[in-house]
Structure 1
Amino acid sequence: MSSLQQGSLNFNRSFSFNFKGGNLSSDSGLLLVRSFVEKLGLRPLLQDFFKDSIDRRHTHASIIEQLVYTTITGYKSDNASDHLRHDPVFTGILDKESLASQPTISRFINALDEKAIEYFNRLPEILFEKANPPRSTKHLVLDLDSTLFETFGKQEQSAYNFHYSPCGYHPLMLFNGLNGDLMKMELRNGSIYISKNIKEFLEPIFKWLDKTYPKAQILVRADSGFATPQLYELCEEYGADFVIRLKSNATLKKYADETLHSFMDIYGSDYTKCHVMYEEFHYRAKSWKTPLRVICRVERAAGELLPRATFIATTLKAQPKVIVKTYNKRGNMENFIKEAKIDFSMDSVSHSSFMANSAKSLIKALAYSIVNMMKRTVLPKDRKSSRMLSIRADLIKIACKTATSARRIVFKLCSSSPFKETFCQIMSNIENLRLA
């Protein structure tokens, strides 16, 4: 910059720039998030779970809270905290003179153990109960899926994944399919099969739901990678229904032959429209204890030559068309995972330690959960389906300066923000919010 004349601008030499504007902030929208977090009661929870053995300038709970806020504001690297150490909004909402530095954060993350992972898994459950009151929650849809967190170094337990192709981790994720709340996320070895240890992953969730939501009807939705007797038996044990896609095989194709023949007899010569036909039967694989109801959907899109058969195993009593429609809604989970990975950088696993990467991913999962609950409970109706990228650009990245007096601090937000009314409406909604 020293080679430029005061940072002069080539389109108008009478204009110049520098970074000497003072201690301003570009993230004043965090005031909304901090106000919502206060309603959730997150800080006491963190302080209760993550107790420090000695007095510290930066407590474990405060570092986690700091990482939640830097994730929400879109700072992917912990190095950003060194530049934000005296940011007036960050220090204000954290009630600290300065933020924890990158080395402090790194030491903390690398010191976490299995007990901390248990706490991180418990936090989304507590917040879930606040945003989904047990008395009024009648239905829960548990959407299961896995994804890839790609790695580029020598991270512990990183491995080549034959389904996704690159090296990385293969985490398992569980969402409430009705509203996108992230219920659980577990980082796993990159080469592990999709449904490996599914009972160990899901049974604690069933026990918690059985205790907290005893009257709620639970539906499990999953792709063919989860078509395993362990999952069927677990659902049966806890009284949960399921819709799970099956991989096609010779036996299933034989069951579908009659339907395929009927399909071709009726629609064989009409290639101008999409045609669909349904059938159902009971099927039992060798590893299953009992036969299951299987829905067969035969479909041919307009312009296609041959029809395709899809098989879905279910315990629901609804009509085949309803079963298929219910299963197809599972596609929303792809959007939830996309937002978690892209907007919250949940797949950024840069530590060498597997435990550190697991803890960091769960902190980002906590940030996702907070924002998703915030969208549903306090954002205006036209904003409830917005992605974090949009919310961040419009409502988080607002410039402000602080005016300090003997008694109070005033955050003076940018006068030209086009979202002033929305900001004030959300703050009012937070003030009036009543959570369980």
Structure 2
Amino acid sequence: MSSLQQYSLNFNKSLSYNFQGGNLSSDSGLLIIRSFVEKLEIKPLLADIFKDYSYKKHSFSSIAEQLIYTTIAGYRHDDDSDSLRNDPVFTNVLDKNSLASQPTISRFINSLDEKAIASLNKLLQNIFEKGNDLNTTSNIVLDIDSTNFETHGKQEGSSYNYHYGEKGYHPLMLFNGLNGDLIKTELREGSVYTSKNAKDFLEPVFKWLTEKYPSATIVLRGDSGFASSEIYDLCHEYNVEILIKLKSNAILKKLSDYVVSEFMNEFGLDYSKYHVMYDEFDYKADSWSNSLRVICKVERDSEQLLPRVNFIATTFNSEPKNIVRAYNKRGNMENFIKEAKLDFFMDTSSHSSFTANAAKMLIKALAYNIINIMKRAVFPVDMHKSRLSSIRTSIIKIACRCIKTGRKIHFKLCSNSPYQNQFNTIIKNIECFRPNN
């Protein structure tokens, strides 16, 4: 008979601990995640993607599912699954006797190819459709930007990026700026320019959205890195509206001289408060096929000596002030990227293969969209804007004991959880939820 090692605590010698508490889990909130995923019917969609791939014990689709759930629960590394192999919540959520180990996960990720990556991106769009009604969605704002995924080894395609001042990848990301849904993402080598291959990246999205949402107004919003003739022409071809910032140049400065002079005449000696003035004009760069309406914003903060001048190219007919306000909401995208990187670990590039890292990024993107749609569809109103890091603390990380009785399994959640009402509300809302088909 083996003895049970007890560890005493220095602040009170009458207290001790060990890790022999029984069939417990600290992630019982995954039960509601699985309930929502069941409504989205993601399990059969993953099975269809990986129908031609499987190991003897673990199908490729089940490993992809496992990575989605471990990501949501906050486990960044593949080898965390080794410790979770017999976790009662994970095994029941995944309908498995045990979880795939780190070597199995690694073999799975490194087996994926460009075809699998294309299929995962298609699934990302499929989830978007389930969370954005095809008949009632009237506006879609496509916020496009690049970001940096820092690397710390010899990953294929990783290189130094002078803009970020570090070595890594330089992926493109496309969000719906109105609700944060991730529409598409593409891993790229670290040294490529912001808008490199942006046309090829956007065109399939434009084609898909204009077919699926024919009555919706679609807007492309981006910074000056995406101010190119090929993107303007593509937007014109698919009837996509434009809100894109322009870099200042000699011609734009000349066209804006009048409003800058007017600004200085009116506010030049008043440094006590913020001042702003707007103007507009038509502008056509040499490489552009057509001229565009350009909004000029001249502003100066209190105690600032000279004004700042910004230019936004647009196809909208709205007032200049409204155009600037609409463009400035693009700042929300920084929060979407931040959550994707920090809470869903999308910037983790632990594999040496470029394709493997791209595939892992897309699996985490699926996790991101599941949670983002779930927040607005079934969460209490006061949790709609919560980040996953907060949701983990309140909803996911609830301890439970798993008890088997006859043919049933009971999960007895922590009696002292302060979020019992929210948990029960989410379960009820999931039962009423009907995804778009």
2: CA distance, partners of 1:245 / 1:23: 56
Could you tell me which residue of structure 2 aligns to residue 171 of structure 1? 171
Q: Using the alignment, how far apart are the partners of 2:431 and 2:205 within structure 1? A: 32
Mapping for residues 282-361 of structure 1, pairs under 5 Å: 282-361=282-361
**Whole-angstrom distance in 2 between the partners of 1:54 and 1:103:** 15
Q: Which residue of 1 aligns with 2:254?
A: 254
AA aligned to 2:198 is I
Q: Cα offset for 1:328?
A: 0.2
**What is the Cα deviation at residue 219 of structure 1?**
0.6
Local SS of the residue matching 1:331: helix
Q: What is the SS of the residue equivalent to 1:416?
A: coil
Q: Distance in 2 between matches of 1:242 and 1:289?
A: 15
Question: Paired residues, what number?
Answer: 432
Q: Does 1:269 align with 2:269?
A: yes
Deviations 1:48-94 (A, max 9, x none): 11114566311000000000000000100001000000000000011
The code of the aligned residue for 2:424 comes to: C
Q: State the Cα distance separating 1:6 from its structure 2 match.
A: 2.5
Aligned pair 1:400/2:400, yes or no?
yes
Matched ranges for 1:160-199 at <5 A: 160-199=160-199
Deviation at 1:20, TM superposition (A): 1.0
Instruction: In structure 2, give the amino acid aligned to 1:215.
Output: S
Q: How does 1:144-159 map to 2 (within 5 A)?
A: 144-159=144-159
Whether the 8 Å CA contact 2:53–2:60 is kept in 1: the answer is: no
1:63 corresponds in structure 2 to: 63
Q: Is the 8 A contact 1:177 1:330 kept in 2?
A: yes
Task: Determine the structure 2 residue equivalent to 1:76.
Answer: 76
Contact 2:54 2:60 in 1 (8 A): no
Deviation at 1:255, TM superposition (A): 1.1
Give the aligned partner of residue 411 of structure 1.
Answer: 411
Q: Letter of the aligned partner of 2:319 in structure 1?
A: Q
Residue 91 in structure 1 maps to residue 91 in structure 2: yes
On the 8 A contact 1:8/1:16 being kept in 2, the answer is: yes
Normalized against structure 2, the TM-score is what?
A: 0.98
**1:292-343 Cα deviation digits (max 9, x unpaired):** 1100000001121110000000000101000000000000000000000001
Report the equivalent of 2:30. 30
Q: Secondary structure at the match of 1:294?
A: strand
Counterpart residue type for residue 93 of structure 1:
V
Contact 1:68–1:364 (CA under 8 A) maintained in structure 2: yes
Aligned-partner Cα distance in 2 for 1:112–1:346? 17
2:121 maps to a residue whose letter is: N
Question: 2: distance between equivalents of 1:421 and 1:55?
Answer: 41
Provide the secondary structure at the position in 2 that maps to 1:183. strand
TM-aligned CA deviation for residue 271 of structure 1: 0.9
Matched-pair contact (CA < 8 Å) for 1:7–1:18: yes
For residue 257 of structure 1, report the CA deviation from its aligned partner. 1.2
Task: Map Cα deviations across residues 161-186 of structure 1 (whole Å, 9 max, x no partner).
Answer: 11111000000000001100000000
Residues 198 and 230 in structure 1, CA contact (< 8 A), matched pair in contact too: no
1:367 aligns with 2:371: no
Q: Which residue type is aligned with residue 36 of structure 2?
A: F
Name the amino acid aligned to 1:83. S
Q: 1:392 and 1:277 mapped to 2: Cα distance?
A: 45
Moved over 2 A (4+): 52-56
SS at match of 2:329: helix
User: Which residue of structure 2 lines up, in the alignment, with residue 391 of structure 1?
Assistant: 391
1:75-123 Cα distance to aligned partner (Å, 9 max, x none)? 0000100000000000001111000000000000001000000111001
Q: Deviations over 1:114-143 (max 9, x none)?
A: 000011100111111111111111111000
CA distance in 2, matches of 1:53, 1:219: 39
Amino acid across the alignment from 2:429:
N
Q: Deviations over 1:181-233 (max 9, x none)?
A: 00000000100111111111000001111211111110110000000011100
2:139, 2:369 → 1: CA distance?
19
Q: Distance in 2 between matches of 1:25 and 1:52?
A: 33
The question of whether the paired residues in 1 share the 8 Å contact of 2:141 and 2:177 is answered with yes
Identity %: 62
In structure 2, C-alpha distance between the alignment counterparts of 1:251 and 1:22, rounded to whole Å: 73
Amino acid aligned to 1:212? K
Structure 2: gaps of 5 or more residues = none
In 2, the alpha carbon distance for the partners of 1:432 and 1:110 equals 39
SS class of match (1:126): helix
Check conservation: 1:52, 1:59, Cα contact below 8 A. no
Matched residue SS, 2:297:
strand
- CA gap of 1:55–1:183, structure 2 versus 1, over 3 A, is same
The answer (yes or no) to whether the contact 2:161–2:168 under 8 Å persists in 1 is yes
| TM superposition score normalised by structure 1 | 0.98
Q: Distance in 2 between matches of 1:311 and 1:90?
A: 51
TM-fit CA distance, 1:269: 1.1
Looking at structure 1, the residues matched to 248 and 9 of structure 2 have their Cα atoms a distance apart, in angstroms, of 63
* Aligned-partner SS, 2:256: helix
Code of the residue aligned with 2:222 in structure 1: it is: A
Per the alignment, residue 128 of structure 1 pairs with: 128
Any conservation in 2 of the 1:243–1:327 contact (CA below 8 Å)? yes
Distance in 1 (alpha carbons) for counterparts of 2:53 and 2:253 = 62
Q: Distance in 1 between matches of 2:56 and 2:322?
A: 57
